[in-house]
């Protein structure tokens, strides 16, 4: 179940900690079965939010955008954060790559 998200401009975002207050709550539950395809969408609806302009500026300036997604099982267990990087490519295109995963309810295996 996808639960929350956070975004940063540039390739050096902070590593996500256990304080999840910076993450934005999704307005609907999205269940993706193991091995299946799914989607994610986030929105910043408050125009006074300091993050409202940064993603648009990053796309216009061809800067990388990093998105951290918090998800877990359908009971709220096994919380995990996966980091997705959206990297600029020629002609206004982007490529997406997953670069890291963090377990939040147990020690890091690395």
Residue 28 lies in a domain: yes
pLDDT digits (tens, 9 = 90+) for 26-51: 888 778 888 888 888 888 888 898 88
Domain with 58, as residue range(s), is: 2-33+50-103
Residue 6 lies in a domain: yes
How is residue 51 annotated by DSSP?
T
Q: Inform me whether the pLDDT recorded for 110 exceeds 80.
A: no
**How many Cα atoms sit within 13 Å of 45 on the Cβ side?**
6
Q: Inform me whether the pLDDT recorded for 96 exceeds 80.
A: yes
Residue 45 lies in a domain: no
Q: Find all residues with CB under 8 Å of 110, minimum gap 6, and list them.
A: none
- Which CA distances in Å does 26 have to 10, 44, 62, 63, 71? 23, 11, 26, 25, 11
Domain count, the chain: 1
Q: How far apart are CA 64 and CA 25, in angstroms?
A: 23
């Amino acid at each position: 179940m996808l639960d929350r998200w956070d975004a940063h401009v540039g390739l050096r975002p902070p590593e996500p900690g256990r304080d999840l207050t910076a993450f934005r709550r999704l307005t609907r539950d999205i269940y993706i079965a193991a091995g299946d395809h799914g989607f994610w969408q986030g929105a910043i609806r408050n125009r006074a939010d300091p993050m409202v302009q940064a993603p648009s500026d990053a796309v216009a300036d061809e800067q990388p955008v990093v998105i951290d997604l918090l998800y877990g099982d359908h009971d709220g267990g096994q919380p995990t954060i996966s980091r997705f990087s959206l990297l600029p490519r020629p002609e206004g295109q982007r490529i997406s790559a997953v670069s890291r995963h963090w377990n939040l309810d147990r020690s890091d295996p690395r």
